[in-house]
Structure 1
Amino acid sequence: MTHPLTWQQAGQSDDKLREFFMPALVDLGASIIIQDASHNYLFVTNLPESWAVEKFSAPSDEVLFGAEVAAKLLTLKKGMTEPGRKGHIEVTIGAEDVYEFRVQAVEFEKGGIHLVTTIVDRSEERHRERLLRALLREVSHRSKNLLAIIQSIALQTARYSGSLDLFLHKFRGRLYSLSQSQDLITDSSWRGAYLFELVQQQTEKYLPDNRHLIRMSGDNVLLTPNASLHVGLALHELVVNAVSHGSILRSHNAINVTSLRSHTNGHECLEVVWDEALDHVNGSAVDHEALKSHFGSTVLERVVPASVNGKAQYVISDERISYRLTFPLEGAAE
């Protein structure tokens, strides 16, 4: 808020000080017009380029700004017959340029009422406002999508949980996975997340001292926000499965995550492969049914591929667990 204090040195002439005001206003980018009570032009300077008329004999609102803007200004100025009256209008030129006309009635010691108009370029300000509105709409849209994903996960987790404690444990892990992916998306200004960063982020919580056991190779693609959330969820299920049922911590066999771009039916696609070798101690066998009889397999085989318009293969054998996800790369970038 600007403090209303005004001070001037004793003996300084008001007329002399006003000589400095005009250059200061022009330096700030303001265009200035002074008219008498009959709307005759007395002074005009620093007009925006949109109305920079090179030659004119008798300036007027219509000559300078055209009939449409002149009509709006006339309506605004008609009621300004008393000092202190103010008003403003905004004028849009083309698709991007926005100017504010601020008019006020000022009473001079000599000459009575005059109209002082300043024209301020609001183009950048309005552009930022449009971007902000678009961003808010995008945030609202993505928030609704995220809430829908959370609701689906909650319902399906409850369906495959035998107790409240098990539900809370599974649901919290999946919710954490979504929040981690969302952090990467937000950090990239909503562009998405790079695949290798997504892999690292989704696995390091469960293998904090064994990050070297996740080996990544291939194309590090920037995934769309939607693909980032769902691929992140698939990675979460795979690493939780590896820690809970696999032998990664016992054998220290590295899990290989590879990605490869390809072209299929005129579309650029990405194939992501999770390859996990199993190690059997004392001849123990892999319980295939146990590995597949939970919500994780539903996520991997149905939810994720459907959400990214792709297809998946989830294969469990005595020797290894393999997950192969292929999907189109709409909007992906290097």
Structure 2
Amino acid sequence: MPDRCPFMSFNVSKILAGGEVAKLLETDGDVAGLGRPSTWLQALRQQVDVVLGAAFPMFLVWGPERILIYNDAYRPILGDKHPAALGQPFWTVWPEVRAAIEPIIEAAFSGAAAFYEDLPVTLHRRDQAEPACFTFSYSPIPIADEVPGVLCVCVETTSAAQERARREESERTLLFLDRLTQATSALPTAEAVMMRAAQMIGEHMGVAICAYADMDADQDGFTIRGDWAAAGSTSIVGRYRLADFGKMAVENLSRGLPLVINDNLAEIAAHEAATFQAIGIGATICMPLVRNGALRALMAVHHKGPHFWTDRELALVREVTERSWAFVERVASQAELADSEAELRRITDAAPLLIAYVDRDERYRFINRGYEAWFGQPREALQGQRVEAVLGAAYDRVKPYLHAALAGERVRFESRVDYPASGPRDVQVDYIPRRGADEGVVGLYAVISDVTERFEAERALLQSETRLRLATEFGEVGLWDVDNGDGALYWDDRVRALFGYSPGVPVTLNDFYRGLHPDDLEPTARAYAAACDPLARHLYDVEYRTIGAEDGIERWVAAKGRGVFDAGGRCLRVVGTAIDITARKHAEAARDLLMREVDHRARNALAIIQSIVRLTDAADPAEFRQAIHGRIEAMARAQSALARTQWRGGTIGQVVREELAAAISAGARVRLSGGEIALPADQLQPLSMILHELATNATKYGALSVRGGRLEVSWASERQGWSLAWEEREGPSVTAPSRSGFGSRLMASLARQLEGQIVFDWNHDGLSVRLRASAPA
């Protein structure tokens, strides 16, 4: 075969892939820097055949011009750059990644292969810049003493990387909300709560300004009472009219919907944008607070310039707004309670409180009727006694507050006290100093409220909010909760299913440990202990296997959680989520198996090629090249067919049609018959090469070498496997050869790989061949 010939390789690719890129190359147009495909070197044509026949995204970078040639699987990565990118210099197509990728490609041209996983880049496609992540390998293609080209196999992993980033962002958000709660829950005034919340969310989100405002009764005027401004930004505290900020601001906020503007110069009317621009705002999220159908307040974050707000940023501002105003309302409620206490001091016996007066000697000089009920003694028996004698062991907890009040400080604290008659109660205690005529402290008023129900409600609400928030943010996950005091275990039905339990079945912590795979028991228990440790407070983040209690099925589970600690550092509970990752683990195992299979088959293919080169007989170099080329292409077609089915095999009919189409141009004189009989992967390549040898012989010396010759190929299933018949008719007179050539020996060897046999019958008017193969075990 001559070195320069019509580019028949792309006719092969059309049969294998039938793709758009192959069709573009079949036009045989000039490719910049490489010339017409029909003039390309054999090495380049073979590499392009491999790329076009692959089902995985692949491309070649060839020659000093770094010309880009890719397959159809790579087209989605290009986006609207296809088809103009085909045959262009790589850096003309991807100038935006040159700084990051050029050193890798140039190293490959120097002979150094490279592999990168989840490499972040920014691509310009679909008329915009978008972040993307890729896992890829660059492999040099050596020819003689140089590397004229580089092969890249790549896959876009943007979605997986973004999902991982979203999980990490969720964790950061939870930690931030926890810090916000701790920082604001004890602040004494609404103003202090809002100022602290504005500062924390502003710094966390990296915005220019975070502000909060009260609405006027007319639902239009509002006052920004306070804000936090980053360095370089100016405070916007003052009075404003909602209407001045535009129609969308009025409509959204009055309906309780957030106002989200990414670029006010582009998204709203010029006169509306001017109001924002005048106070240094280019992008904003403004979150309304609606109570009883009326717009009561606003909280907003702003950037100086355009900023595309994400759903997570919007959700965070909404959550912080709700929490902040909840704290404000709680502070307001406490203030009202304090006012009420002043009135209740004058009607002590009618109040549902414990009210007492204690002198400087710490003796009760007055108590109300509430003390009688809680302590189980008449007031006469209690009055005159010292506080320490009445409270007993609880005195040590109140002693510091008692002394502080007697020193002139008004004290409020909360505690849990076991009272003789009423049992354990959560109480809120106020110690109010009483001053004499000389302003010296002569005693204190003690006002004690029973807040047991409120504390229980708050604890229940906290548990409910924690479960709901986790369920909302993590989607299809199970929820679990362990009470670290008594070891009580809560599982929802999704977690029960992960351990093989039916819905609603009662479970204990022992059921959890019994359900773990023995190999995963110790590391899982160690991770749980670290989450409960008040010094470590590690995030509980484990993957383990479970053995279903009722169904015996092994499952993979990913679990995350965190300990909840009280002010003293005691772990109260551990709460978290669990998700079924069995499918992911199976997919990872299947991927590893596939890679091993590819490696195994590649080694086998190289061994066969070495045998073909060593044993092929040829009278001259051109005939030798043609024989080698044809046999290797038969192997390549078989490999491509396997790749399309992910190494699951094919059918006999598919292999027959593809091999005859590649080797025979006289299709009208060929008759095929047979059903679509499944062919396992390890039988596809031997059959393909046998058919190539028969077709080559028929076109050179057999029935298809003359005008009137015909060929019939049929195949059928048999009880122990399958058979194929090759019948040449009306061809040249043939006789059995005096010795077996390489082709005959090769076919006999290939038949043995099929665990079968091949029989040649040299009839007067044409060759007959019978091939039988065994079904795989």
| Pairwise same-fold verdict (TM > 0.5) | yes
The equivalent of 1:96 in structure 2 is 554
Q: What is the rounded CA distance, in whole Å, between the counterparts of 1:214 and 1:24 in structure 2?
A: 64
Alignment counterpart, residue 175 of structure 1, candidates 632, 652, 662: 632
Cα distance in 2 for partners of 1:66, 1:178 equals 53
Say if 1:51 and 1:65, in contact at 8 Å, map to a contact too.
no
Amino acid at match of 1:196: G
Cα distance between partner residues in 2 of 1:311 and 1:71: 57
Whether 2:460 is the aligned partner of 1:8: answer: no
Distance 1:224 1:66, change over 3 A: closer
**Offset, 1:304:** 2.0
How far did 1:44 drift? 4.7
Distance in 2 separating the partners of 1:64 and 1:293 = 70
The answer as to 2:131 corresponding to 1:131 is: no
| 694, 709, 732: which one aligns with 1:253 | 709
Quote the residue 1:140 is aligned against.
599
Q: Which residue of 2 aligns with 1:61?
A: 509
Distance 1:67 1:245 in 2: 71
**Which stretch of structure 1 is more off in the superposition, 40-49 or 308-317?**
40-49
Aligned equivalent of 2:656, options 199, 202, 227? 199
Distance 1:106 1:167, change over 3 A: farther
| 8 A Cα contact 1:156 1:295, kept in partner | yes
* 1:29 maps onto 2:29 in alignment: no
Identify if the C-alpha distance between structure 1 residues 96 and 273 changes in structure 2 by more than 3 Å, giving closer, same or farther.
Answer: same
> Which digits, 9 at most, give the CA deviation of each residue in 1:9-43, with x for residues without a partner?
4641277894641442585222221544x574485
The whole-number CA distance in structure 2 between the counterparts of 1:74 and 1:255 is 72
**Aligned position for 2:758:** 312
**Does residue 215 of structure 1 match 2:671?**
yes
Change (3 A) 1:288 1:77: closer
CA contact (8 A) 2:488 2:508 kept: yes
Residue 749 of structure 2 is aligned to residue 303 of structure 1: yes
**Residue deviations 1:69-124, cap 9 Å, x none?**
77655432333324751243313324531223324334567986453332222222
Secondary structure at the counterpart of residue 100 of structure 1 = strand
Using the alignment, how far apart are the partners of 1:168 and 1:197 within structure 2? 27
Q: What secondary structure sits across from 2:317 in the alignment?
A: coil
Q: Report if the CA contact (8 A) 1:278-1:319 is conserved.
A: yes
Could you say which residue in structure 2 is the equivalent of 1:81?
534
- Gap runs ≥5 in structure 2: 1-164, 173-204, 206-312, 327-460
**Residues 33 and 117 in structure 1, CA contact (< 8 A), matched pair in contact too:** yes
Structure 1: segments with no counterpart, 5+ residues: none
CA contact (8 A) 1:39 1:115 kept: no
Residue 743 (structure 2) pairs with residue 277 (structure 1): no
How large is the Cα RMSD of the aligned pairs? 3.4
The amino acid across from 2:743 in the alignment is: G
Q: The residue matched to 1:191 in structure 2 has which SS?
A: coil
Conservation of the 8 A alpha-carbon contact between 2:650 and 2:684: yes
Which of 127-136 and 227-236 deviates more? 127-136
Q: Are 2:708 and 1:242 aligned?
A: no
**Kept after mapping to 1: 8 A contact 2:702/2:766:** no
1:64 offset after TM fit, Å?
Answer: 4.5
Report which structure shows greater RCO (CA 8 Å, sep ≥6): 1
State the AA in 1 paired with 2:773: F
Structure 2 vs 1, CA of residues 316 and 73 (structure 1 numbering), >3 Å: closer, same or farther? closer
* Residue in 2 that maps onto 1:119: 578
Q: Which moved more, 1:11-20 or 1:174-183?
A: 11-20
Q: Deviations over 1:178-226 (max 9, x none)?
A: 1112222333332322122211111112323x22222112344222222
Distance 1:174 1:12, change over 3 A: same
CA distance in 1, matches of 2:729, 2:680: 30
The one-letter amino acid of 1:241's match is N
In structure 2, the residue corresponding to 1:189 is in which secondary structure? coil
Matched positions, count: 315
Q: Is the 8 A contact 1:194 1:222 kept in 2?
A: yes
Q: Which amino acid aligns with 2:545?
A: V
Secondary structure of 1:138 counterpart: helix
Quick check: 91-100 or 110-119, which moved more? 110-119
CA distance in 1, matches of 2:722, 2:500: 53
1:322 aligns with 2:761: no
Distance 1:205 1:64 in 2: 61
Once residues 192 and 207 of structure 1 are traced to their aligned partners in structure 2, the CA distance between those partners, rounded to angstroms, is: 24
Which stretch shifts more, 319-328 or 73-82? 73-82
Between the aligned partners of 1:194 and 1:326, the Cα distance in structure 2 is: 15
TM-score normalized by structure 2?
Answer: 0.37
With over 3 angstroms needed to count, the CA separation of the structure-2 counterparts of 1:312 and 1:105, relative to structure 1, is: same
What is the aligned counterpart of 2:645 among 188, 205, 209?
A: 188
Contact 1:231 1:304 in 2 (8 A): yes
**Shift in Å at residue 137 of structure 1?**
2.8
Distance in structure 2 (CA, Å) of the matches to 1:110 and 1:30: 30
Distance 1:55 1:194, change over 3 A: closer
Return the TM-score normalized by structure 1. 0.79
Counterpart position of 1:224:
680
